[in-house]
Homo-oligomer: A and B are copies of this chain.
Amino acid sequence: MKTLVAGANGQIGKQLVQLLHNSDKHTVKAMVRKEEQAEAFKQEGIETVLADLEGSVEDIQHAASDCDAVVFTAGSGGSTGSDKTLLVDLDGAIKTIEAAQQADVKRFVMVSAFQANNRENWYEPLKAYYVAKHYADRALIDSELNYTIVRPGGLLNEAGTGHIQVAENMTEGGSIPREDVAKTVLACLDEENTYKKSFDLLSGDQTIEEALKGL
């Protein structure tokens, strides 16, 4: 299974690309915006493709053309302001969904945000960000793609534990290392029990495999 990672240069993206690259079952193509971002991947023998989430659907479609799955884990980041939230987290995500459909890719995993599905639970200072994630997720659900929407809690940079908890709707927030998010996304790709499902994700006490099977 060949997977295009949109947002390969991001903090989760980089880890996911490595995991896919090191897996026997997977092949990876890292999608990045700039040549200098591609360089580091190329040096490790990882296939890269240049495409801009602020560019055309056609460019992204071309990037996805020989892939079986797409993971969207791009984010404009906290420092760029809400203009980029609209252009990347919302429009960039939905263009990637459209591109996947046009490239006849069937599988799509979205890295979203904890409780992005529930307006009532949006953390006030990040509300605009949640709006963008919410409507990108909705567009994916309404598409014809075989989707999984992973909604992690507060992201940590510490090493992963390999232990998580998942649920279609969590009431209590929490956190999770980015490494465990990347590992969960990897496991989702071919775990049929995650097809057409959306779930919140936090650190927990089940293995990733157990947790996903219990969804």
Q: Are A86 and B82 in contact (CB under 8 A)?
A: yes
Q: Are A87 and B131 in contact (CB under 8 A)?
A: yes
How many copies of this chain? 2
- Of all chain B residues, the one with the shortest Cβ separation from A135 is B135
| B-chain residues with CB within 8 Å of residue A127 when the two chains form the complex | 83, 86-87
Across the A-B interface, the 4 shortest Cβ-Cβ residue pairs: A82-B82, A86-B128, A83-B128, A86-B131
Q: Which residues of A contact B (CB under 8 A)?
A: 56-57, 81-87, 90-91, 94-95, 119-120, 127-128, 131-132, 134-135, 139, 142
**Can you report 29 A-B residue pairs in the complex whose CB atoms are below 8 A from each other?**
A56-B119, A56-B120, A57-B119, A81-B82, A82-B82, A82-B83, A82-B85, A82-B86, A82-B128, A83-B127, A83-B128, A84-B128, A86-B86, A86-B90, A86-B127, A86-B128, A86-B131, A86-B132, A87-B127, A87-B128, A87-B131, A90-B90, A90-B135, A91-B119, A91-B131, A91-B135, A95-B119, A135-B135, A135-B139
